[in-house]
Amino acid sequence: LELERLGIHESVEPVFPPAELADYLAALPVEIAVVDDDMPSCDAIVTLEHREAFLEVDWVHSIQAGVDRFPFDEFEANDVILTNSTGIHDTTVGETIAGYLLMFARRLHDHVANQQEGRWERPDWDEAFTLSGSTACVVGTGTLGRGVAETLGGLGLNLRGVRRSDEPVPGFDEIYTTDRLREAISDAEFVIVTVPLTDATRHLFDADTFDAMRDDAYFVNVARGSVVDEPALIDALETDTLAGAALDVFETEPLPEDSPLWGMDEVIISPHCAAYTRDYVRDTGDIVRENGDRLEHGEAFHNRVV
Ligand code: NDP
């Protein structure tokens, strides 16, 4: 692989202006251009979305950690290297999730909703609670999971992690393996999903999993919409077998206007932006730059997926 021309694909626009990344990488000894779908003679592409034409380049870098939208088999068959941006979303997502949990516990979402209506209305005496001393079960203990544990640990929550192996993870009081998921979530006040979407995690959260949770538990998904059977979640919320949910990702994005989730008082919806930060362009740029250096020195790529 000779890196002479690096394209920044225009699909990154919803996360940061492509020209900002081109500027940030300007010191690399390669030609850098913002490109659309015809990417004249690029050797590498930095992108949000996938395009068929990427099978012609040597290296594709995803600005997201989740790479479920890329066809791994076709990349492999065409000798295309795929790298991702895992490792940079610990603090951003951790703080977003702390925000969701504080909104529910301290009833801040109710105050914001009441304010829209000019309404002075206090919570019932038994509605507000504190996060300190409650248990959060975090399913997926990678970059996101660890960032969540670090932030929530500071707020005094007990942290339980679920992963495939039973190796301990910093920040977690206990670790359960995925085959014990239902046991792990059964007494948690908060269940937080931070796993990649794979064949093994598609619809990991279905009616039976929601049944295994406490009726007063809150569910948080910042992973991918399809890790959850969305109709089963809606059913659990409508029948009050869950207290509420904070959702950043959905089976269909943008979330369709007619989704019942929009109208639920105990549901917080954010438009797939849990990891947004003005530093995103630099955090991703550092991974691309490091891999540029590694390529020059004949070393293996960091964050290589395919
Ligand atoms: P990592 O690769 O760092 O971590 C993934 C973790 O999931 C690992 O700890 C792994 O542990 C665990 N895991 C994998 N498969 C399973 C399984 N079947 N059951 C239980 N645990 C499993 O990824 P990140 O933390 O960086 O990102 C995770 C996902 O979050 C991304 O793939 C993406 O989809 C989503 N994401 C969403 C963002 C947003 O803005 N909403 C931002 C960034 C990421 P082990 O190997 O032990 O199983």
Q: Which positions ≥6 away from 196 have C-beta within 8 Å?
A: 65, 66, 67, 68, 140, 142, 223, 224
Q: How far is the CA of 4 from the centre of ligand 1 (A)?
A: 32
Burial pattern 102-129, b for ≥16 Cβ within 10 A else e, equals ebbbbbebbeeeeeeeeeeeeeeeeeee
User: What's the gap between Cα 203 and its chain centre?
Assistant: 16
- In contact, 226 and 252? CB cutoff 8 Å: no
Q: Which residues line ligand 1 (CB under 6 A)?
A: 65-66, 86, 89, 93, 139-145, 162-165, 178, 194-197, 200-201, 222-224, 248-249, 272, 274-275
**Each residue's pLDDT tens digit in the chain (306 positions)?**
889 999 999 999 999 999 999 999 999 999 999 999 988 789 999 999 999 999 999 999 999 999 999 999 999 999 999 999 999 999 999 999 999 999 999 999 999 999 999 999 999 999 999 999 999 999 999 999 999 999 999 999 999 999 999 999 999 999 999 999 999 999 999 999 999 999 999 999 999 999 999 999 999 999 999 999 999 999 999 999 999 999 999 999 999 999 999 999 999 999 999 999 999 999 999 999 999 999 999 999 999 999
Distance CA 104, CA 266 (A): 8
The Cα angle at residue 96 between residues 91 and 98, in degrees rounded to 5: 90
ipTM over the 0.90 cut-off = yes
